[in-house]
């Protein structure tokens, strides 16, 4: 016989997954540039979220928790694999990769070219709609450092897309 609390947790998690999966995938795709890898990372992060659902459900930003977990999984996988195989061009977008729905290819390409911390701060702030304090907490850095990364990322993207003003 199933316990009512378990059924409620199962339903809450299923609702969270349905609401959040696409946003998490877009954020991780923007950070990694590889759709297949992003899907694997998001799947692993959601599996970990379910395993820790009591903690994650009370987190102030559960979507950010999933995105950060996915990015941490990527780092862990990379660390394990670098001992086995050289990963030349691993961070480059894969040929034939599909863009996220509603996001232009040029913008995704520009975001992928940002340095890692700028890219992570930008994705969490813009794609996950977190405030600076929440981004700082997720990344484990100070809000001032987040502001600097966001400022540099925005300046870089603006330089690529805004027309030059004389």
Domain residue extents for the chain: 4-161
How many Å apart are CA 158 and CA 39, to the nearest integer? Answer: 29
**Sign of the torsion formed by the C-alpha atoms of 52, 56, 57 and 58:** positive
User: What's residue 104's pLDDT?
Assistant: 67
Residue 100 — pLDDT band, cuts 50, 70, 90? very low
- Rounded (5°) CA angle 45-51-53: 90
Across 138-154, average pLDDT:
91
Residue 78 has pLDDT above 70, yes or no: no
CATH class of 4-161: mainly alpha
User: What's residue 85's pLDDT?
Assistant: 45
User: What's residue 20's pLDDT?
Assistant: 93
Q: What's the mean per-residue pLDDT of the chain?
A: 81
Cβ atoms of residues 114 and 30 within 8 Å: no
Residue 74 has pLDDT above 50, yes or no: yes
Q: How do residues 4-46 score in pLDDT, each as one tens digit?
A: 678 888 999 999 999 999 999 998 988 888 899 999 999 999 9
Across 129-139, average pLDDT:
85
């Amino acid at each position: 016989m199933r316990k009512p609390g378990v059924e409620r947790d199962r339903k809450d998690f299923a609702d969270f997954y349905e609401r959040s999966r696409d946003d998490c995938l877009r954020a991780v795709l923007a950070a990694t540039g590889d759709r297949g890898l992003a899907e694997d990372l998001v799947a692993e992060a959601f599996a970990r979220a379910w395993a820790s659902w009591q903690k994650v459900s009370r987190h102030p930003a559960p979507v950010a928790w999933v995105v950060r977990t996915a990015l941490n999984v990527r780092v862990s996988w990379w660390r394990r694999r670098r001992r086995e195989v050289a990963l030349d061009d691993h961070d480059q977008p894969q040929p034939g990769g599909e863009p996220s729905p509603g996001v232009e290819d040029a913008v995704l390409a520009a975001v992928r070219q940002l340095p890692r911390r700028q890219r992570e701060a930008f994705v969490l702030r813009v794609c996950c709609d977190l405030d600076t304090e929440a981004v700082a907490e997720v990344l484990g850095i100070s809000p001032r450092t987040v502001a600097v990364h966001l400022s540099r990322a925005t300046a870089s993207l603006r330089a690529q897309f805004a027309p030059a003003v004389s």
